[in-house]
Structure 1
Amino acid sequence: MTDYLAITQHTCSWLLAHPAVMSAIYESVSSGDIESLMKGEFSAGPLRMAGTPDGKVVSVWNKEYLSGTGHEAWGIIRLSGSFGLLNAPAIGSQVFERQIYVFNQRLQSLIIDGDFIHRTWPNGSQTCLAGRGTEARQFSISYFEAGPGFGSLSAKAIIAIGPAHDFDDLQRAISLEVKQLIPLALAADGTVDTRRRPLIEAPAFQALRTALSPSQQQEFKFDKVNVNANFRSTGSAIAPHETAFWTYEDWIVNGALNEAQRLVLESDVLLRHPVRVIGPAGSGKTLLMQLLAVKHLRRAYDGSESVKVLYIVHNTAMAQTVYDKFRTLGAEDFVTNPNQNIKITTLSELGRQMSGLTETMVIDKDAQQTKLFQLDQVRSALRSVLDENDDKVLSSNLMSQVAQDEDLFNVFSSLIVSEISNAIKGRGLTENERAYVNAETPLSRLHGVLTTTERQIIFACFKRYHASVFEKFEMLDSDDIALTLAGRLRTPLWQLKRKVEGYDFIFVDEAQLFNENERRLFPYLANAKVAHTPIALALDEAQDLYAFSSAGLATLGIADIEDKNLPSNHRSTREIVDLAFFIIQQTTDLFSNDFPDFKSIEEGMVSSSHQQAAYPAIMACNDEQPSFGRFVVKQVQKLRASNVRQIAVVCHAETYWKEMQEFFTASGLPLHVLQQRGEKIAPDQPMVILSRPAYVGGQEFDAVISIGLEQGVVPPRIVDNVALASAVEQQVLREMYLVATRARYRYLALLNKTALPNQILQGALSESKIQVVNVGA
């Protein structure tokens, strides 16, 4: 029997606003069918329930309200035994409601209503009335609170027992439960951070599913949806190049949209709730966003109504690409029309304009170029700090490895960029080193796995970076712009002006490229004429290469987004898709029941019998090759001789970047080096594209060659910090997934002499998702 039920604080708050869902959860718990959650997961809308393998704890959380730090604030209910919730079925639902209320209040350090006869006892426990009914008021519940600093707790937690009559009995019983609090909270955190589990369809959960699907959704089929876009109807033979110059009308009338997308376009979903367009790489998320934007512009034009649409992209190249697409769709006039207007911009440029900053005050108008500059400055700062703090470096195994291993140094630098953005600047700690270094509650996933000495090095790196950018160059980075704009948008003045200057609809393309500071801005940009945020986000978390884990959208101000998954993939052979599916299966924070199952994808795939198709392969440089760079060039030449026209060479390891650049430049092959995400590449031109993983998003190639996926190189070896090693591996898995899904016909992983494939590739080998091919075969 399940002994404990754990619920996050934000979920408690959400349940109090959704009493039907709370009641249905209690019914599911009391039915006993939650026993099945030790082997699977309940998933409906934003709600998730899962159990520990031993069945001792079942956790409940709303995925949109997760903190992203890896440690949630848990309220834990004793279910079994004489002091368990299920021991009093006659008043159980009322007691459950009271426990949820107590968790929500106390985990936020709010007082309990005086009418509930709250008392504090000498052993540190507290009691209050067990419920609001006549019978329930004859009983009490007892609970014990703890926070960071209590043992190994990293966040606040509460454990509750009851109902019971006798206060002395409750005190004795709660004293026995206190020692369980820490392991129970850690176990609950672990259930959130687990790879995909089988979905549970037990009959007892049907009432809960119904409660999570409000009656109004029956009338409006696409109310509060996430859409995974697939733009071909079954059996469609329309090739991508045939649709390149289609207008909005062409997309609507030519049958290239499947039923789900057509219904979304014909509905008024954005008038009711936010939309998250989710899907794997190549599923057409951006096109659906653009069609939705054009639809609302045309409707306003036809009705002689004013409308303001904001379309946000990550960099200048993407902004130009999107503008060109809107022009193709026949929406060019809306760019200059003051009454029905669409503004296509980067968030960085929008922030600069709205904050009144001059161009000389920012690093670059292009957000991506700004972030590249940030990374370079952080690398320089980190190297200086490591060189100047030998004693601290030597006292830390992690920092010693970072100082000595160039590949680990580069990966760690990327993590520090995110740490500076989210944990230091985002939490207002730029002038408070002590609060960052000594924080008991993890400020981020990285922060939670670092010692105080390592945090001191991180903060010293931040100070060196800040002195360089802010004081030496006297410029603002992308986070400074976002935080400056956030300060402006949170003022009473903006509250007055936003109904005129805000936007009716907001579209955010590739939202995974924006950090938490930037995502928090989106709700404030709406004109607040409706209760919800009328925003559509195209999102693929698997392409967010540098994040540990992001906070849920609801914690950032965008609530009421629910899921509807319609998985698709258009560009690759079944063998490449299977390899990508295997790779993403290994992730803990991505491969959940929300992630599309590639095994179900059939339509739109490249045939495995295509003359250019080949099984994914690993190939190692042998002793006969004069150098690794020459070996890679030779393999590209062989592919070109086989009429493979566009070949991407993706360098996962900085160690090999300079060598690849030199050999391909000297080879005489038509070479294009990708400098940023979203660059235009002529689809009909045979060429070799050299790139880092971060820049290949949104591209398609006939063949993709991965460089550097070797043991000890990618991911770099990290000793004595299992949590960080795991997190870095998650980043590599995202990179490998993204890169593999760029390939239409062939995927190759090339290894240097004597190198072995990394553990991820070895796992794929053992599962026959990739094969070893000898040179010359």
Structure 2
Amino acid sequence: MKFLVIDYKSVKEIVSDRYLQSADYSRGEDLYRCVSNGIVTDFHNEIAVVKKNNGLIFLSNEPSPGKVLVIDTEYFKGFERNENDVITILQKSLRLAIKTWDNIGHSPCEKIIQGTSFIALMPFSFVTGKSYKVMFDKRPECVRQDKRQEDNLLIFSDGYEVGTKPVLANYKKATEAYFGLNYSDYIKTLDSKEQVNNKYVSINEINGVFKNSNPYLGMEFWSQNLTKTQRDFVYSTSLGPDILKGAAGTGKTLSLVLRCINQLNQAKKEGKSRKVGLFTHSIATKESIYNLIVSNGGESFIDTDGPQSVVVTTLQEWCINNFANRISATEYLDKDALESKQLQLMYISEVVDDFLLNDFEGCKHFISDSLISFFSSSDKWPIYSLIQNEISTYIKGRASEDFDTYKTLERSNNSIYLDSEDDFSTLYMLFNKYQDKLIDLNLFDSDDITISALQETSTPIYKRRRIKDGFDVVYIDESHLFNMNELSLFHNLLKIDSTNIVITFDKTQATGDTTLSSTDILSQFNVENTTDEQELSAVFRSSDQIIQLSSCILASGATLFSHLENPLINSTSGHTIIEEKKCIYPYIIYRNSEDEVALSAFEEVDKLSAKLKIHKSKVLIVPTNDTVLQRLKSISEMKNIEIETIVRRGDTQSLINALDYDKYIIGGMDYIGGLEFDAVVITGIDKDKFPNKGNGNESNHFLTYSAYNQLYVAVTRAKYAVAFICDRTKGISPIINVALEEGLISKN
């Protein structure tokens, strides 16, 4: 195949069709096979594919001689890449063609080559180093086109360097082939019956925007509307071990729930017994998943004594109900693991404050300079967080509270740097003071409950009970939120010798243990690394501009942290061009004081809600730290502004309250994972506030690493718009410097 010709109407149809945005859809795969291998496929019911003169022509039912895009496939090698790369290149190229024809401004990934008629398109998510480019010519044979009043475009090369002038031989053959067609011989026509019944009609399209992002549509709907990767995962007959990886907004949780329902339905059909446990990290996400199961036809399986059943629960709830029933509800910090960890952090902060006030000066005589520097930070919050991680992961979890074991453990790059035995003794002293506080209050934290359950599951009595009462399959949503203590327990909840565990995982959203990889998780499940691992690439939530920004944030972090993964590197937006018209380019605004920044957050919500024609509760305000949050609350009280605050991860009730009572919605970075908004306003993106400042190399390392993760999570909550607000007197956070330099954030 020497060329591909796509006429104007065909270009418009392809960029507007939901099922042609990714090769994960069957019709997207048909389109890939057509452009990559020259195979005539029926990928669209209004576009005919015609072979002529050693090339292909995409002919719409409204031919447009003089307005076609020609791709010279002899010199352009982009269609030789993998299937999703090909679809991304094609879709981005067609969008650039429409912008050129309709005189729409270019984005930063479309660079005009000065002094020429060429445009260099960079179709892939941001990466450091040289970018892959697709070379366009806006005016091939410009003299001839001017005479004929034509407006044809040409893609003539690709690669990592800007190409030379195009060779026009194939372009001439292509335009002659298109002009020489007898259009009536090829144009597809549809009668009214075909238009109604055709499987490609988007029955959920309202005002041109496809609405299938609603997860509560039932198994029958999803059986026709999943991507290929999602379908392979959902309808897999494997009971595990399986990992589904993907960036925020790719549909990991929905796919996990649908797979659970499908496997229960299949077991019922085959007359097999199947007892399933579906574990979430918090009560809020448990309630959301419960609703997903009910709305997609799985209600009959929930908490039943029948042969096929599913228990939807948090891990801490399960431990309390099954292993820790010798303690009463008043003896654990909180029934919700997330709330329990927040209370744990509060008690640790009290212990640290007491140490700094009464003991720190004396300790300076024998602890290392690095630990002195760590405790000398003016911002205490990072100290509390790191010591919480130290107590949970190292002292309680890995050392089983034994000091001699603790000081010999291998430590991660992101932990507190301890240089001597006195350093370890100091941290262990803080642990003992924290434990004394729990003893005085007669309370147990989430680590106590999990570790106690882990010990109990190792007893001969429980091992025998697992033969009958253990789960056949365990599903774990958002495994990246669990710490090592919690992950170690899951394999003991299965029947003996079973490895039937299915999980979703996105390291970039990790709060449980930020150093974990999928391999580390497998090791905690006692399974070999032969797991079936699938990765979702089509992002259905966010616009392409937001994906580019998110990828830049992660790529910038990856230059500092070799283990910071970028799940967006091969991701593409699932938005059609109609949805793209709603999108607003990410931007930053500057104010002159912290009060102005806080007030501007509410003003920006009003502007975005008016522009997008949405309720203000669809725009999330994200403070970068607690200081900014308190400032927002103070301004709201002063100005009589009604606000609703997200108080825990997966807190859908706050979203309902904000909508019902006409309030602004605010959510801290640690609580907004798993939620979705039309727009996000990130408030306080200042040099002195984000990342939080520690003192000492290792603590700064941890905090900066966490900041990249947190900002990625915040940005990927948005569908159409992301705004940043900065106090110009403080300076901009270095976390977004690269994005600003690359033009991925515009300055208002």
Q: Same fold (TM over 0.5)?
A: yes
2:584 to 614, 639, 652: 614
Whether 1:714 aligns to 2:690 is yes
Seen in structure 2, the aligned counterparts of structure 1 residues 250 and 234 have a Cα distance that, compared at 3 Å, is closer
Q: Cα offset for 1:752?
A: 2.2
Deviations 1:628-684 (A, max 9, x none): 433333333333443453221111222222111122244444422000011112497
Q: Distance in 2 between matches of 1:750 and 1:396?
A: 39
> What residue identity is the alignment partner of 2:262?
K
2:355 aligns with: 385
2:630 aligns with: 658
Q: Which moved more, 1:675-684 or 1:367-376?
A: 675-684
SS at match of 1:465: helix
Q: Distance in 2 between matches of 1:538 and 1:487?
A: 26
SS at match of 1:747: strand
Q: Cα offset for 1:606?
A: 7.4
Q: Cα offset for 1:595?
A: 4.1
- Native 8 Å contact 2:554 2:565 kept in 1: no
Deviations 1:123-182 (A, max 9, x none): xxxxxxxxxxxxxxxxxxxxxxxxxxxxxxxxxxxxxxxxxxxxxxxxxxxxxxxxxxxx
Q: Distance in 1 between matches of 2:580 and 2:522?
A: 45
1:673-692 equivalence runs, <5 A: 673-680=645-652, 681-682=655-656, 687-692=663-668
Q: Distance in 1 between matches of 2:631 and 2:416?
A: 37
1:421 to 392, 399, 405: 392
Seen in structure 2, the aligned counterparts of structure 1 residues 396 and 511 have a Cα distance that, compared at 3 Å, is same
1:364 to 334, 338, 346: 334
- Native 8 Å contact 1:580 1:741 kept in 2: yes
1:258-277 equivalence runs, <5 A: 258-270=227-239, 273-277=240-244
1:629 aligns with: 598
- Native 8 Å contact 2:595 2:635 kept in 1: no
Seen in structure 2, the aligned counterparts of structure 1 residues 717 and 319 have a Cα distance that, compared at 3 Å, is closer
1:77 aligns with: none
2:725 to 739, 750, 753: 750
Q: Cα offset for 1:456?
A: 3.6
Q: Distance in 1 between matches of 2:348 and 2:727?
A: 29
Q: Distance in 1 between matches of 2:486 and 2:632?
A: 34
Q: Which moved more, 1:477-486 or 1:318-327?
A: 318-327
2:271 to 304, 311, 327: 304
Deviations 1:227-272 (A, max 9, x none): xxxxxx99977644674432223322xx2112233233333121xx
Q: Distance in 2 between matches of 1:448 and 1:752?
A: 31
Q: Cα offset for 1:381?
A: 1.2
Whether 1:492 aligns to 2:460 is yes
Deviations 1:478-518 (A, max 9, x none): 11111111101112222211011100011111111110000
- Native 8 Å contact 1:379 1:413 kept in 2: yes
- Native 8 Å contact 2:678 2:720 kept in 1: yes
1:257-656 equivalence runs, <5 A: 257-270=226-239, 273-339=240-306, 340-355=308-323, 356-357=325-326, 358-388=328-358, 389-392=360-363, 405=377, 407=379, 409-432=380-403, 435-436=405-406, 438-439=407-408, 441-447=409-415, 449-452=417-420, 453-469=422-438, 471-528=439-496, 531-545=497-511, 547-550=513-516, 552-556=520-524, 557-559=526-528, 560-588=530-558, 595-598=566-569, 600-604=571-575, 609-611=580-582, 613-622=583-592, 627-642=596-611, 643-645=613-615, 646-656=618-628
> What residue identity is the alignment partner of 1:704?
V
SS at match of 2:534: coil
Seen in structure 2, the aligned counterparts of structure 1 residues 260 and 563 have a Cα distance that, compared at 3 Å, is same
Seen in structure 2, the aligned counterparts of structure 1 residues 235 and 671 have a Cα distance that, compared at 3 Å, is farther
1:108 aligns with: none
Deviations 1:685-705 (A, max 9, x none): 664211110111111112212
Q: Cα offset for 1:626?
A: 6.0
Q: Distance in 2 between matches of 1:393 and 1:196?
A: 43
Q: Distance in 1 between matches of 2:462 and 2:129?
A: 45
Q: Distance in 2 between matches of 1:326 and 1:418?
A: 34
Q: Which moved more, 1:642-651 or 1:444-453?
A: 444-453
Q: Cα offset for 1:333?
A: 1.6
- Native 8 Å contact 2:235 2:259 kept in 1: no
Seen in structure 2, the aligned counterparts of structure 1 residues 765 and 405 have a Cα distance that, compared at 3 Å, is same
Q: Cα offset for 1:605?
A: 6.1
1:61 aligns with: none
Deviations 1:38-71 (A, max 9, x none): xxxxxxxxxxxxxxxxxxxxxxxxxxxxxxxxxx
Q: Distance in 2 between matches of 1:558 and 1:410?
A: 37
- Native 8 Å contact 1:385 1:460 kept in 2: no
SS at match of 1:745: strand
- Native 8 Å contact 1:414 1:546 kept in 2: no
> What residue identity is the alignment partner of 2:598?
G
Q: Distance in 2 between matches of 1:286 and 1:234?
A: 25
> What residue identity is the alignment partner of 1:367?
A
Q: Distance in 2 between matches of 1:465 and 1:737?
A: 33
For the aligned residue pairs, the C-alpha RMSD in angstroms reads: 3.0
Q: Which moved more, 1:297-306 or 1:359-368?
A: 297-306
- Native 8 Å contact 2:561 2:705 kept in 1: no
Q: Which moved more, 1:498-507 or 1:595-604?
A: 595-604
Q: Distance in 2 between matches of 1:365 and 1:264?
A: 32
Q: Cα offset for 1:404?
A: 5.5
Deviations 1:98-119 (A, max 9, x none): xxxxxxxxxxxxxxxxxxxxxx
Q: Distance in 1 between matches of 2:513 and 2:213?
A: 37
Q: Distance in 1 between matches of 2:566 and 2:226?
A: 22
SS at match of 1:337: coil
Q: Cα offset for 1:378?
A: 1.2
- Native 8 Å contact 2:415 2:698 kept in 1: no
> What residue identity is the alignment partner of 2:441?
F
Q: Cα offset for 1:594?
A: 6.8
1:214-225 equivalence runs, <5 A: none
SS at match of 2:398: coil
1:705 aligns with: 681
Seen in structure 2, the aligned counterparts of structure 1 residues 406 and 319 have a Cα distance that, compared at 3 Å, is farther
Identity %: 24
SS at match of 2:279: strand
SS at match of 1:693: coil
SS at match of 2:689: coil
Q: Which runs of 5+ in 1 are unaligned?
A: 1-194, 199-232
Seen in structure 2, the aligned counterparts of structure 1 residues 620 and 442 have a Cα distance that, compared at 3 Å, is same
Q: Distance in 1 between matches of 2:451 and 2:436?
A: 18
Q: Distance in 2 between matches of 1:517 and 1:609?
A: 43
SS at match of 2:702: helix
